[in-house]
Structure 1
Amino acid sequence: MRLFRIGSISLGGLAFMVGCGASEEKFPEQDFEKLNGVIQEMIYHGERMATDIDTIAHYYEEIVSKKDSVLRVAPPSPYHFVGAISTNLPGQDSTLSSVIILNSTPDRKMAEEEVVLTNSLDSLFAEFIKGNPRTAQIYSNSAMQVSRVFPAYDVKNIIDTDIDVTKFNFYYKADLEHNPSKGLVWIPEPYVDPAGKGWIISLIHPIYDGDQLFAVLGVDFTVSDLVQNYMDAVEGEILMVNAKGEIVAGKAGAIESLSMPPLKNHVYRETIHSDYFRISDFNLFSSKSREVREMAQQFLLEKKDRFEFDEETNLSRAICVPFIGIDWFLIQVFPNY
């Protein structure tokens, strides 16, 4: 069994139960193998990405530990600010990030020094995105309320410069209370990206200055890209859910067949970019169908891997493969032809 480990996390390793009373004719092995293939592709890209993030995190902590000497020899900063926002515009210089010193900073002067200290991250961020094109963005958010995001985006028209980044889950989920191992950690629940990318999931890594959390390094994946890159490439109605039953990503046909709320414009990819999408509405345990709720119970709580529908005229069966080490489940539903 091959495992994908991120710090204390194992992503991969497929576990499914044998002898659940269903015949091989109804639940052929190749259906499970297909879901296995989707997960293995995610594992392949995840392993490379995890290594790259670790490399950046180690460099980041090194410059923080030597900040006085780094600042003494740092070149002039390419960033100039009007209030909270750096003046470089998206597309103006592709080597630069969007940098914000939020109004919530406790010390503007120290925040400005931090921008200079961390400017060398830009080249690493650019290299990371080039090598991991399936990621939407890479960023750093600091305790001093300095936000650096690559590629650059339209900060002026998107970000509320009065926010406190330490209050967002993409920051506090990396702190010592939530992440005592100080390694990489997934945020398994999708959330709306403040930088305008729509609904996303994140992988984050804390950056420490001694015993103090200095910043959080993060990488985002849009829900729509998860569908396009990993699910649309295979045949079948597939979706990914977390342990709460919330749909992390999925094909429109799969979601609609499970008696979820109607999709705006009938396109899941558009729905998840809109303000009216609420992840709590797209929860298997909230389905109008009693059998879908029962399926969720058996897959997510009882850890079963196959389910037969009796009452749903449009569905015949479903299978489930869990991720190990993170509470996600890949589910395929089969229409009743």
Structure 2
Amino acid sequence: MIKTLEFQGDSLTREISSLADFLDSLVDQKEEILAQELSDPYRMVGNFSSLPTLEDSTKSTVVILSTTEDYEAAIDEIKFTNFLDSAFYHLVNKYGIIAQVYLNTSNQYSRVYPAYDAKNIMDPNIDVKKFNFFYEADLEHNPSKGPVWIPEPYVDPAGKGWILSLIHPVYDGDQLFGVLGIDITVDEIIQSFIDDFEGSFLILNKNGDIVAGSSSAIESLSMPPLKNHVYRETIQSDSFRISDFNLFNSKSREVRKMAKSFILEGNDHFLFEEEAYLEDAVCYPFEVLDWYMVKINPRVQ
């Protein structure tokens, strides 16, 4: 399971590197592209496009944030990067696990595919450079200028489950032009593997949060009750709080001890002594992500 998931990650790393090469070519040719005086399919008025894009599957959502230092330069950036729409479209439709693809520039212009209702969702006053999906790719954090996995996954507020972000910087000479990103829904692919394997499995992040897991594993570790005994449904409920499903917050002292053994001490086996229904647990670390797969073995009665 770990190798298959990380193989998907390797494929997407190659994809974002290819996308970065394409954007790099657009940046290099920006003067020639702008000289063609191509029509702007977005017709920006203030922060937002004056044309509806939600019903057009070939269009992104484009925003110029109020924090831009040069609005006209941002307009030009939109124009010479419009070719990204086609690349974004094909990438999202190639991989079912991709939630969205995007570009954020140092000049505070944002392009996201698929399109979303930016006027009602996006705060136009934010500074994208203060978010980890931007600064983790800058020269200070990423001197190699290559692809970067954001180390912390998050739970998507729109109900898509756990999201991982893969980002890649693009430079204009020595200056950071912008950062490409791919947001990936990992909940579904992980859960499908867990359902296919016999036994009680958990996927944990480095903080001890349960990313995914079989109901038998989660319910055996003194965690809160699951909605319909399904963790995916629990994640998508309005009352979900990830801190409730952190092994370090388990009501069981021994489960907390297990989390410490695996995550903080680097052990790969834990023997239960006090839990009446649990025998032991085995931990398998991921190679690319700071995640762990844990198999919980019940005590034979």
Asked if Structure 1 and Structure 2 have the same fold, meaning a TM-score greater than 0.5 normalized by the shorter chain, the answer is: yes
Report the residue type matching 1:89 in the other structure: T
In structure 2, the partner of 1:172 is: 135
Higher relative CO (Cα under 8 Å, sequence separation at least 6) belongs to: 1
Greater CA drift, 146-155 or 55-64: 146-155
**Is structure 2 residue 146 aligned with structure 1 residue 183?**
yes
Task: State the distance in 1 between where 2:174 and 2:81 align.
Answer: 19
Q: Could you tell me whether the CA contact under 8 Å between 1:173 and 1:187 is conserved in 2?
A: yes
The one-letter amino acid paired with 2:42 is Y
Q: Structure 1 residue aligned with 2:277, among 314, 319, 328?
A: 314
2:26 to 38, 54, 63: 63
Q: Provide the TM-score with structure 2 as the length reference.
A: 0.88
Residue 258 (structure 1) aligned with residue 221 (structure 2)? yes
Instruction: Give the whole-Å Cα distance in 1 for the aligned partners of 2:193 and 2:101.
Output: 20
5 Å-filtered alignment, 1:240-255, equals 240-255=203-218
Measured after TM superposition, the shift of residue 264 of structure 1 is: 5.5
Distance 1:281 1:167 in 2: 28
Matches within 5 A, 1:1-337: 38-73=1-36, 75-86=38-49, 87-90=51-54, 92-193=55-156, 197=160, 199-263=162-226, 267-273=230-236, 276-336=239-299
For the residue of structure 2 that corresponds to 1:188, the secondary structure is: coil
- The unaligned stretches of length 5 or more in structure 1 are 1-37
- Contact kept, 8 Å, 1:198 with 1:274, in 2: the verdict is no
Over 3 Å counting, the alpha-carbon distance change for 1:276 and 1:209 in structure 2 is farther
Residues 264 and 270 of structure 1 are in contact (CA less than 8 Å); yes or no, is this contact kept in structure 2? Answer: yes
Inter-CA distance 194–142: structure 2 relative to 1 (3 Å threshold): farther
Deviation at 1:161, TM superposition (A): 2.3
Shift of 1:257: 2.6
Distance 2:134 2:214 in 1: 30
User: Unaligned stretches of 5+ in structure 2?
Assistant: none
Cα distance in structure 2, aligned partners of 1:82 and 1:192: 32
Tell me how far 1:74 sits from its aligned partner. Answer: 5.6
Counterpart secondary structure, 2:66: coil
What RMSD, in angstroms, separates the aligned Cα atoms of the two structures?
2.4
TM-score (norm 1): 0.80
Q: Give the secondary structure class of the aligned counterpart of 1:201.
A: strand
Give the equivalent residue in structure 2 for 1:8. Answer: none
Structure 2 SS opposite 1:115: helix
SS of 1:232 mapped into structure 2:
helix
Structure 2 distance, partners of 1:216, 1:321, is 32
* Seq. identity, %: 55
Tell me if the contact between 2:103 and 2:181 (Cα under 8 Å) persists in the aligned partners: yes
d(CA) in 1 for partners of 2:225 and 2:42? 45
Q: 1:64 to 1:253 in 2, by over 3 A?
A: farther
TM-aligned CA distance change 1:295 to 1:106, over 3 Å: same
- What's the CA shift for 1:267? 4.1
